[in-house]
Amino acid sequence: MRFLKGVANVLKAVWVKGQRSTTGKDLVVGFVAGVVNVLLTTPLWVVNTRLKLQGAKFRNEDIVPMNYKGIIDAFHQIIGDEGISALWNGTFPSLLLVFNLAIQFMFYEGLKRQLLKKRIKLSSLGVFIIGAVAKATATTLTYPMQTVQSILRFGRHRLNPENRTLGSLQNILYLLHQRVRHFGILGLYKGLEAKLLQTVLTAALMFLVYEKLTAATFTVVGLQRAHKH
């Protein structure tokens, strides 16, 4: 989260260059930062997901379980058995989920900008609430895709006749359809409450910490410049 926020602000500083920021620009910056984040971190998420779920029993017999001794062994087995591209399993839905990050960033910057326009000084509680609202909105809108993403990251699927990972748009739509078929529309949001508790609090705290660090940095830089003059 801090990495993503840092990338977003670097891109924003380079692109905007003192110009007036808009909702559209915030969305584009958030999207680009999200793409960079996905491409760099997906291999780690794939390994992390498989390590956490190995040994678990699943009702869905279509998913093939895997066993790993540790992080290095997981990387070794995945590359050896499935090819290096398997480390980017679920990249397609992850890229679609960049909209989660883009929406979150857009809502956060938009709400903050509206408050600043009204000359309302943002308190720590204000930053926390804005961050929480932004993350809750983004998570709720994109949660069905996150469910598919988790399935793809876990491993191979027996329904795939060519024994490849399910990464195409057609297979993503198939998994969504299967979810609705077995659990109904609400099945797309199964576990959303736990996800909101996890991500909303984390994101809100990260935004708060980031704003505090940014303010402290600008204060130090300002004092140094004043001292030189």
Spans of all domains in the chain: 1-87, 89-190
Residue by residue, DSSP assigns 38-93 as HHHHHHHHHHHHHHHHTT---S-TTBPP---SSHHHHHHHHHHHH-GGGGGTTHHH
Terminal-residue alpha carbon distance, the chain? 37
Residues 60-92 have pLDDT tens digits of 555 566 778 888 998 998 898 888 888 887 787
Name the residue among 137, 136, 148 with its Cα closest to residue 95: 148
Global confidence as pTM:
0.59
Reported as a single tens digit per residue, the pLDDT across 138-186 is: 999 889 888 877 777 665 554 444 434 445 667 778 888 888 888 888 8
